[in-house]
Each structure stands twice: as structure tokens, then as C-alpha cells.
């Protein structure tokens, strides 16, 4: 599988805008088509999205905030300071906790020294918090009856994160909470892209080889070509990302419109790659981002980790992205928007057919969430 990550701090170059009258007309048509959607669809052919971006308050803040990757860093920082005061020196060196990569933390854990003790203590704290969040969510009406929870985001892909999630499983079992925890089977950079094959119009999937997908996070943007392999697996269980680009935009601190422009540039590169490799791309781009998605493609809350005002009435992400893009093949490009946790969870749908109710928690800058109910075939509904 051809794959590429772009982790450099260099921002993608700006894409060219239409310069002729005809291109201007085409751009206007694209904008209008980009508004069509449907955006944030909650009822799909095989599954109902019961809810997402659930924000439960505990009186001091939102429950999910205590189980984000940011929260884990705060826990680790507290233990690090405690051990530093006892040992007379910082067991993790001089770098701030927020700058320690998960690979560095895994290496410190493997050395089994004082630093490892601090990391293990933070992991135990995190496990207790995540178990608390799971139990709170399971009491909400959109989560009642959930039998399985998928833990997404990149946290579980480290040894540190894996231990914390194992600890959560043990706590839930000890407290007799009837739910199974699993981790996302796809790489964290790909789950939020692959999920789009379950949201794209079926007719498009049958007529083309692949679609373009975007996953916008508070730290990174991921763009990719998702090949469906529909002819080999009608349930889309073999869908894969055959090319991806990753931009750590938080390092560049772009303005909102600069971020959109950078995404368009990454997509243009993927379109060129597909043409070179003779991959038939559908004229469709799925865009996942944090927040509440309105049917018209606007955003209503939950975008605080993104740069600038994404909820402005003068900003429409599908339209603004669509007008920056060229045609894909012979059709006008349609851009569809949905919540990032919803899309990442949908990447697991082919493997959730043995349960009726399931959910996803994505551990990132914040804690994304979504819950689902599998639908029976129409004749049984």
C-alpha cells in the first residue's frame, strides 16, 4: 500500500484560484453543489447514529475533558513534579511534558526507572478517569444498551496508552459494567478517512474506485485516497487508504482560511496522484471535523480546538473548500461534512455486526464520542 505522511512544519503552498470567467462560473456551481449535502446525516442504510459530541457536565466542567490526551499530559505532569521533588531532579529531563512524544514516553517506560514509575502512576489515574467517563456516558439515553465501545484516536497506539486502556478494562470488569472495550483496528491516521465509505452515496461507490477524504483535528489534518474494494467485499470491510498526506498544522498556527487553503492544496496533490496511478476518483470529498454539523453544512459548537471562528455565519466549510478545488473527472465535486468521531467510528461498522448497540470514544486533543444502533434489513424493521 502506497502511503505517505507529511509531518513537516512547512505549510502547504497556496492553491491557484480560478482566473477565467468560465472557471468562475464553475466555481459558483461547485459552491452551490457543496451546500447540497446531505451533511451530518444521522440515518444511514445500515446504521442509525444515535448521537455524537455528547457534553455531560459534572459541575466543574465537561466529563469527557478528564479523559482526553490533554488530560493525560496534565496527570503525567503532576506525577513528574512529585517525583522530581522526592528525587531532587526531574526524572524526565528538561523538556516540558507537552513536548514529550508518545515514542519518548514508551522508551522511558521500557527503562523501568523513576520516570517509568511516574508514567505508570499517570496511566493508572487516566484509567480511573476513563472508566468514570464510560460509566457516565452509558447512563445517557443515547448510550443506553451499548455493548461495545471502540477506543479511537492515536493514544492507544502507544505502550503507555495501551496500558491505560487495559487498566480501564480491569476497572470496568471489577465494577461489573457490562461493556466491552476494543481499540480501533485501523491506524488512527486512517480510521477517520475510511469511515467515509459508509457515508458516500452507494451509486458513486459502485461507479468509481475510490473517494477523497479529509480528517481535520485540533493538531493535525489528514487527507487521503480511500479505495473501496467494493467488488471484493460488498460490506466495505476491505476499504483502505492507498495514499495519505498529513499536515501538523498546529505547528504553523494558520488562520482559519489558511488552513482551508492548505487542505485544498493537499487534495490537489492527491487528485494528481490518482490521475497518475489511473485510480478512478469519485467527484466526492468527505470532510470530518470536530463539532456539531448542521444539515446545511454549517457548524454549531464544538470547534474550539480549531483556529479562528468556524461557527461564523459567513463561513461555510464545504462551500469554501469546494470553490478552491478543480473538477474531479467529468463531474463537479461535491463536498460532504460530518463529525470526526462519527466518521472514525463508522470505519468499524463491518466488524460490529455481532452487536446491536455500539459506540466510539476518540482520545485526542479533546474526547470525541458517538453512539450507533445497527439497523436490520428493511423487511425486518
Of 368, 379, 365, 313, which Cα lies nearest the Cα of 339? 368
The number of angstroms, rounded, from the C-alpha of 152 to the middle of its chain's C-alpha atoms is 8
pLDDT of residue 29: 45
Angle, helices 114-138/159-174, rounded to nearest 10 degrees: 50
Of 135, 169, 191, 186, which Cα lies nearest the Cα of 341? 191
Residue 101: exposed, middle, or buried by beta-carbon count in 10 A (0-12, 13-18, 19+)?
Answer: exposed
Grid cell at residue 10: 512547512
Which tens digits make up the pLDDT trace of 82-104? 999 998 999 999 999 999 999 99
Which tens digits make up the pLDDT trace of 4-54? 344 443 445 544 554 556 555 544 544 444 444 579 999 999 999 999 999
pLDDT of residue 30: 43
pLDDT of residue 64: 83
**pLDDT averaged per 10 residues in sequence order, the chain, 381 residues:** 39 51 52 58 95 84 85 95 93 92 93 93 96 96 97 92 96 97 95 96 92 94 97 96 95 94 96 96 94 92 90 92 84 88 97 97 90 76 46
Q: Are 263 and 223 in contact (CB under 8 A)?
A: yes
Amino acid at each position: 500500500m502506497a502511503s505517505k505522511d507529511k509531518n513537516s512544519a512547512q505549510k502547504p503552498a497556496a492553491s491557484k484560484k480560478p482566473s477565467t470567467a468560465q472557471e468562475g462560473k464553475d466555481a459558483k456551481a461547485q459552491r452551490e453543489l457543496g451546500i447540497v449535502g446531505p451533511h451530518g446525516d444521522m440515518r444511514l442504510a445500515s446504521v442509525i447514529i444515535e448521537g455524537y459530541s455528547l457534553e455531560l457536565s459534572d459541575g466543574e466542567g465537561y466529563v469527557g475533558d478528564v479523559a482526553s490526551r490533554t488530560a493525560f499530559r496534565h496527570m503525567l505532569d503532576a506525577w513528574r513534579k512529585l517525583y522530581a521533588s522526592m528525587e531532587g531532579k526531574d526524572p524526565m529531563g528538561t523538556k516540558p511534558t507537552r513536548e514529550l512524544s508518545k515514542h519518548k514516553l514508551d522508551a522511558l517506560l521500557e527503562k523501568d526507572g523513576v520516570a517509568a514509575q511516574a508514567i505508570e502512576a499517570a496511566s493508572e489515574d487516566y484509567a480511573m478517569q476513563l472508566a468514570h467517563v464510560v460509566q457516565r456516558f452509558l447512563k445517557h439515553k443515547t448510550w443506553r444498551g451499548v455493548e461495545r465501545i471502540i477506543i479511537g484516536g492515536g493514544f492507544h497506539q502507544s505502550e503507555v496508552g495501551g496500558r491505560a486502556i487495559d487498566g480501564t478494562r480491569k476497572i470496568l470488569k471489577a465494577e461489573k459494567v457490562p461493556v466491552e472495550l476494543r481499540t480501533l483496528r485501523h491506524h488512527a491516521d486512517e480510521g477517520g478517512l475510511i469511515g467515509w465509505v459508509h457515508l458516500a452515496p452507494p451509486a458513486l461507490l459502485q461507479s468509481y474506485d475510490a473517494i477523497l477524504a479529509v480528517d481535520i483535528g485540533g493538531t493535525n489534518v489528514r487527507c487521503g485516497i480511500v479505495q473501496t474494494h467494493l467488488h471484493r467485499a460488498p460490506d466495505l470491510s476491505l476499504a483502505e487508504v492507498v495514499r495519505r498526506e498529513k499536515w501538523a498544522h498546529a505547528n504553523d498556527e494558520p488562520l482559519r482560511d489558511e488552513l482551508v487553503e492548505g487542505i485544498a492544496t493537499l487534495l490537489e496533490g492527491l487528485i494528481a496522484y490518482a490521475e497518475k496511478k489511473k485510480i478512478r476518483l469519485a467527484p466526492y470529498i468527505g470532510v470530518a471535523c470536530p463539532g456539531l454539523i448542521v444539515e446545511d453544512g454549517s457548524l454549531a459548537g464544538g470547534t474550539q480546538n480549531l483556529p479562528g471562528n468556524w461557527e461564523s455565519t459567513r463561513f461555510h466549510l464545504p462551500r469554501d473548500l469546494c470553490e478552491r478545488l478543480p473538477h474531479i473527472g467529468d463531474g463537479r465535486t461535491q463536498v460532504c461534512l460530518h463529525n470526526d468521531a462519527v466518521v472514525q467510528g463508522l470505519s468499524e461498522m463491518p466488524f460490529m455486526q455481532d452487536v446491536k448497540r455500539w459506540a466510539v470514544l476518540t482520545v485526542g486533543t479533546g474526547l470525541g464520542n458517538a453512539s450507533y444502533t445497527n439497523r436490520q434489513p428493511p423487511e425486518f424493521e
